[in-house]
Structure 1
Amino acid sequence: MRKLDRRALVAGSLGALVLPGFLHAQSANERVRFALDWVWQGNHSIWTYGAEQGVFVREKIDLSIERGYGSADNLNKLASGALDIAFVDPNLLPKFNSENPSVQMQAVCVMYDAAPSAITFLKDSGIKTVKDLEGKRLAVTETDASWPLFRVVCQLNGVDLDKIKVVNVSPQLRDSLVIQKRVDAALGFFVTSVINMVSAGVPRDDIAYIKYNDTGLELYSLSLVCRKDYAARNPAAVSGFVRGTVQATRAMLASRRAAVESLIKRDQLLKLDVEMLRNDLMIDGALLTPWTREHGLSTVDRARFERTAAQVAKAFNLAVIPKMEDVYTDRFLPPEAERRLV
């Protein structure tokens, strides 16, 4: 029998002890399946640019990003386990959680301090207030968050929804129906509707919109959302993804053109100038509000959050008005100083 070299024996023993741990460290990146709220658009460049710059890899996140089909669809996919984290309107969570007690959702980072949800129309429609929609035709997409939240807007403004002719269409058709005057107005994000109409040749000065936040519904908006049990089982994945998102947001703000160029690689039919304009509109109208500039990303005011939650709960006839901690947690956020964007 051949006598083993002592150094080889020691090396082999260390390999048996160290190699499994080494392999674990090498493969320790947390897998996160993430979906956006909708088709690829300029404001989604936060994640495409962050991925391109290696932000998420540095946070040990193995990230996959896919386009979305609306907040409601994202919630269903989170519930089924088809997604881990998604870009979702948090105002839908109280209702979803009340109807799905075994699959509870929570927001872990509020990305938009103000909602881009709006009613968009042509100025010659005669619409000036929400009340003017009575007797008009309104294009909606029932799976989009703007539709159920519109019910809250109606309640706050004394609008009889039964007096509005609601036309349920795919989101791709909403704005074109307004242009063709087959409907009088459409629900959706103003940044999307305005750009769609301008791209179709409508003069910008002919387009108007009413933001939900200007109707008495002071909404927080799109957030990173996951199942509560997923977060409990995967705290490193959630906190790593949130940290990466904050860093990616800062990187996008510092290099807006490069960020949008990274997005266009995902869909080369997109136009750079259009998506840069869309991104700028979202930054100015929803992301970098005066509050966010002062306090940082996802610094949520409890009084405002619970006031809005009560308005939404009343509209949906929920038995319990949720507290902030029922649907939002700051547990996975980095310190406030690290969330400053400017």
Structure 2
Amino acid sequence: MKLPSLSRIRTGALLALAALAGAAGAQQPTKLRFALDWVFQGPQAPFLVPHQNGCYQKAGLDVTTDRGYGSGDTVVKVGAGSYDVGFADINAMVEYNARQTRPEDRLIAFFMVYDGAALSIITRKDTGVAKPADLVGKTIAAPPGDASRRLFSALAQANGFDASAVKWMNVAPELRETMLARKQADAISGAAFTGYMGARAVGVPKDELVVLRFPQFGSTLYGSALVAKRSYAAAHGATLTALAQCVAEGIATSIQQPAAAIEALYQRDKLINREVEQERMQLSLDWSIVTPWTREHGLGGVDPARLRQSMQEVASALSIPAPDIAEVFTAQYLPARDKRSVPR
């Protein structure tokens, strides 16, 4: 019997090792850097659920999820390539895009999370404010860069009054709710669930608070979405779809098993108050995520006619050109409809 030569044995061994190395390389998970919009609180819990239940791992993703420092900061970091994907206000993204001269530097939203924008004005019952028009002649405290403040003209236009008929008071973000509690301002602007819970934390009784949410009063504005740089999206479409599907599952878990979502949050920040953050998360679900539209059409998508109108509102409020909606949102990377249904 003729034995194989030593060179053939070596060649065969090298080929086998190469095949094993290729198989191992093919199994390596895709790394993805994900920046949230704010600190780890209840509304951020759905994005942490996929880390806890293994969805990312099963999808072949190695996701690093970091806290955010505001939507404006998040879109800048995604645009700069520091993060691959961000969770940020779509209106902040549109404003960022308006400053970019090269199309490849712009971002695009690919999964709408807050079908109802979290924009709001929060006041006390003793001010007599029950609807947006009642704010005429009132003083509203907010940081200059607050999104609800900057887009206030959209609320005013939808309710038929002059946005300049209110007085704005500049305050640091951490003092906003305190100004309301001490009656040094008639109202404050900010994210609905954050401001509401913050005002209660500084002593305003819950039954004394009035929350005027933009979606309640005729504004068509959308809220926060998953966003990515267009060049990244074009090259990593399957990755974005897998991420979006895990986020959709995380939202569904948060709706059906809120305690499990808060446990995922607790694993990232052991100092949270579970009860407070579960209520804050529930408000984000009730006010911004679970809407008549998402119940009918599923999570993640948009109504093109509404998005077109909202872009007109944003352009007017921020004094920027109204973008084509194809440059703002794409449904190309959405998971299948049955993968993003709102649980009943």
In the TM superposition, residue 271 of structure 1 has moved relative to its aligned partner by 0.8
Work out whether residues 70 and 145 of structure 1, in 8 Å CA contact, stay in contact via their aligned partners in 2: no
The count of corresponding residues between Structure 1 and Structure 2 is: 338
Kept in 1: contact 2:298–2:337 (CA 8 A)? yes
Match in the other structure for 1:293:
295
Cα deviation digits, residues 193-248 of structure 1 (max 9, x gap): 22222233322111001111133212221100111112123223322211221122
Equivalent residue for 2:114? 112
Where does 1:229-308 land on structure 2 (aligned, <5 Å)? 229-308=231-310
Tell me, yes or no, if structure 1 residue 180 matches structure 2 residue 182. Answer: yes
Matching residue's letter, 1:138: I
In the alignment, structure 1 residue 20 sits paired with structure 2 residue 21: yes
Who is 1:36 aligned against?
36
Deviations 1:306-338 (A, max 9, x none): 11111222233333x323211000111112122
1:161 deviation in Å? 4.2
1:31–1:237 CA contact under 8 A, matched in 2: no
Asked if 1 retains the 8 angstrom alpha-carbon contact of 2:76 and 2:96, the reply is: no
Partner of 2:81: 81
Letter paired with 1:110: M
Alpha-carbon distance in structure 1 between the residues aligned to 2:289 and 2:141: 26
Q: Deviations over 1:167-193 (max 9, x none)?
A: 333322211211112222111122122
Counterpart-to-counterpart distance in 1, 2:257 and 2:137: 46
What amino acid is the match of 1:38?
W
Within 2, Cα distance between the matches of 1:215 and 1:101? 35
1:129 aligns to what? 131
Asked if 2 retains the 8 angstrom alpha-carbon contact of 1:85 and 1:226, the reply is yes
CA contact (8 A) 1:108 1:329 kept: yes
Write the distance in 1 (CA, Å) between the matches of 2:331 and 2:56: 20
- In the alignment, structure 1 segments of 5+ residues that lack a partner are none
Native 8 Å contact 2:143 2:172 kept in 1: yes
Moved more, 305-314 or 152-161: 152-161
Give, in angstroms, the shift of residue 23 of structure 1.
3.2
Is 1:336 aligned to 2:337, yes or no? Answer: yes
Which shifted more, 106-115 or 194-203? 194-203
CA contact (8 A) 2:298 2:342 kept: yes
Identify the range of structure 1 (229-238 vs 301-310) with the bigger mean alpha-carbon deviation: 229-238
Show structure 2 runs of 5+ residues with no match: none
What is the CA RMSD across the aligned residues, in angstroms? 2.2
Percent identity over paired residues: 33
**In 1: Cα distance, 2:8 partner to 2:287 partner:** 69
In the TM superposition, what is the alpha-carbon distance from 1:6 to its structure 2 partner? 6.6
C-alpha contact 1:257 1:276 (8 A) present in aligned 2: yes
TM-score (norm 2): 0.90
Question: Could you list the per-position Cα deviations for residues 88-116 of structure 1 after superposition, in whole angstroms to 9, with x for gaps in the alignment?
Answer: 11123333222213221111100121112
